[in-house]
Amino acid sequence: MKVGITKEIFARECRVAATPETVRRLKEKLGFDVVVETNAGTAASFHDDAYRAVGCEISGDANHVWSTADIILKVRSPEDHEIAQMHQGQTLISFIAPATNRSLLEKLSAKNVNALAIDAIPRISRAQKMDALSSTANIAGYRAVVEAAGLFGRFFTGQITAAGKVPPAKVLVIGAGVAGLSAIGTARGLGAIVRAFDVRPEVAEQVQSMGAEFLTVQIDTEEEAGTAGGYAKTMSKEFIEAEMALFAAQAKEVDIIITTALIPGKTAPTLITREMVESMRRGSIVVDLAAEQGGNCECTVADQVTMHAGVHIVGFSDLASRLAHTSSQLYGTNLYHLLEEMGGAENLHIDMDNVVIRSATVVHNGVITWPPPPVAVSAAQRATAPEPLASPATVVQKRIGMVDLLILVAAGLVLVGIGMTGNREFITDMTVFALACLIGWQVIWNVSASLHTPLMSVTNAISGIIIVGGMVQVGTQSIAAIILGAVAIFFATINIAGGFLVTHRMLKMFRK
């Protein structure tokens, strides 16, 4: 079975659907033959020689690739003349945007082919390795900060020099999805003060763990902010008014705003108005990652950098393509895992009972299968019935049994025997020993099980004080005391070393 890789013809598209590394894995691990169109990966710095080195067939004729391949891997959705070259039973895998591209689905259906939309992969745990939307968003978030840094007239990090003090840049990231978190991490890495906002309160911990401040709005009613698809949903009028007031206040303070609010298949919501842009300081920057679908900023012009009231508005829709080498590698890996999920070359089939494959399949044997059955992937907790209140605790009086009575009598006899020895030093040592055992046992036994590991690592280290007592006993005249003291020193030394080792390993987990 042959996989075909064509050169992307969409304007400004530099990515390629497979790199030499992912092609090698397709051949060696999944058993596919691969044909690559000449210069398909040149724009992403993957040259034909690299593909030849891993055993690819290089074809100078795009029509040959389309006509001979059983599976076509692309980045962008096919143009009309490319669809015309497809043949019955062929499988296409690419970005398709099925929710807004019904005419394309009809054209593919007319050719009686199969089409899988890589951008329709459900956001569930086991499909993460095939989630090209997340891979692309990750790169777009990173590149958004890089684009902003190129236009910004100052350092991102604050500096104090002999020539004066430079304050750190203040960055506001709207939307804490994959792209937003990537932007937060990149801006924090450059030393900026970062603030972030998202309608989903469950992402607050992720934002704060990356060193950014999570902004919230206060309204009288609580709202469910996430959808079953894992995206933010449209909020109430009251909430929108509150968040717009927040953005207006932040626009006057921050230097850079990065907007990432976008739901596939829907027009991007307007979050930054013209008045907000005009309130920003001159030299500030707005990077709009939703420019391709209308933009989050009212002043955005798709695929252009414009200036309004002294503020740069970046509306690039090809941010992932501007990092084509890495984007192609990640996207090619996503496609490799998808073909692996489909069974590889020997057992390739479109399993409509597989939730991942079913969700991605938009045309099957010429039949349009979009939209798929819904898949719940929201991270928000589902409402559960309240647990019944625990009944008041009752005190049960423990009765003394025969065994307990025998133990008590035996302990009494032992104490009487120790007292009859008449050896004051021995009696003192035994009393201290008994109290130490009793108190130590009570301290450890009454600690919650969840704390045993950190507690024991410290208490074992502290227990090294036994060494002092052992050294005292080693200096006595009694052979038995010397032996017991030496044994105590040996085991206490093990406790000290082990306790500090465990403590060090635990503390290391909290260090970067």
Cβ pair 73, 40 in contact under 8 A: no
Report the percent of the chain where pLDDT is more than 70: 82
Mean pLDDT of 320-349: 96
Mean pLDDT of 386-404: 53
What count of other Cβ atoms lies within 10 Å of the Cβ of residue 286?
A: 28
231 is catalytic: yes
Per the DSSP assignment, residues forming a β-bridge with 257 are 172, 286
Catalytic, out of 134, 182, 321, 457: 134
The full set of domain ranges for the chain reads 2-130+323-368, 139-317, 402-510
| pLDDT at residue 491, as a whole number | 80
Report the percent of the chain where pLDDT is more than 90: 62
Per the prediction, the chain carries an average pLDDT of 86
Using the predicted structure, report yes or no on whether residue 363 has a pLDDT greater than 70. Answer: yes
Domain 139-317 in the same topology as domain 2-130+323-368? yes
Catalytic, out of 119, 131, 255, 288: 131
Using the predicted structure, report yes or no on whether residue 508 has a pLDDT greater than 80. Answer: no
Using the predicted structure, report yes or no on whether residue 386 has a pLDDT greater than 70. Answer: no
* pLDDT-wise least confident of 15-19, 92-96, 416-420, 446-450: 446-450
Using the predicted structure, report yes or no on whether residue 505 has a pLDDT greater than 80. Answer: no
Catalytic, out of 123, 195, 200, 358: 123
Sign for the CA dihedral angle at 239, 242, 248, 253 comes to negative
Per the DSSP assignment, residues forming a β-bridge with 214 are 196
Mean pLDDT of 206-218: 93
| pLDDT at residue 409, as a whole number | 78
CATH superfamily of 139-317: NAD(P)-binding Rossmann-like Domain (3.40.50.720)
| pLDDT at residue 221, as a whole number | 61
- Fold for the domain defined by 2-130+323-368: Rossmann fold (3.40.50)
Question: How many whole angstroms separate alpha carbon 309 and alpha carbon 300?
Answer: 13
How much is the pTM? 0.72
Write the CA distances from 468 to 459, 460, 471, 473, 493, integer angstroms.
16, 15, 5, 9, 11
Catalytic, out of 51, 231, 331, 336: 231
At 178, is the pLDDT very low, low, confident or very high (cuts 50, 70, 90)?
very high
| pLDDT at residue 441, as a whole number | 57
Using the predicted structure, report yes or no on whether residue 305 has a pLDDT greater than 70. Answer: yes
At 478, is the pLDDT very low, low, confident or very high (cuts 50, 70, 90)?
confident
Q: How many residues make up the chain in this entry?
A: 512
128 is catalytic: yes
